[in-house]
């Protein structure tokens, strides 16, 4: 099966649900990112003040969480412009829009898991 036809409202509901979860995960990860960054800066500052640091140790390696909210927004806006009550979606679109399996999802999940535990 290459495509299926779905209700516009069902697709919209799935996208809104997935977008809400994404925003919640992103916001929590961002909050925890800043807390961890602040702790790392304070740790490095203590080491610098105590002159207990080598030059190659003066860096912080934290990946900032990245929001993909606009991907959901674009899909939702396109859906609003769609003129029929049903819409044909491909397998790729089904995975993204309904199963919430986007190309960027693994990296996003790893980053948010790192910060959110």
Main-chain dihedrals φ then ψ at residue 94, nearest 5 degrees: -60, -45
pLDDT in tens, the chain (117 residues): 899 999 999 999 999 999 999 999 999 999 999 999 999 999 889 888 888 777 667 788 999 999 999 999 999 999 999 999 999 999 999 999 999 999 999 999 999 999 998
> What's the pTM value of the predicted model, to 2 decimals?
0.89
Main-chain dihedrals φ then ψ at residue 102, nearest 5 degrees: -90, 165
For position 55, what pLDDT does the model report? 66
For position 47, what pLDDT does the model report? 85
Domain count, the chain: 1
Query: Which domain range does residue 51 map to?
Result: 3-116
For position 35, what pLDDT does the model report? 97
Largest Cα–Cα separation, the chain: 68
């Amino acid at each position: 099966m290459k495509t299926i036809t779905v209700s516009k409202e069902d697709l919209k509901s799935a996208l809104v649900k997935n977008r809400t979860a994404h925003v919640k995960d992103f916001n929590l990860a961002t909050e925890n990112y800043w807390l961890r960054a602040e702790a790392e800066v304070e740790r490095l500052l203590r080491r610098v003040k105590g002159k207990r640091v080598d030059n190659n140790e003066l860096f912080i390696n934290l990946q900032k969480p990245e929001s993909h909210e606009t991907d959901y927004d674009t899909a939702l806006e396109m859906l609003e412009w769609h003129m029929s009550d049903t819409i044909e979606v491909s397998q790729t679109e089904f995975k993204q829009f309904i199963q919430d399996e986007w190309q960027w999802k693994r990296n996003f999940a790893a980053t948010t898991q790192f910060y959110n535990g």
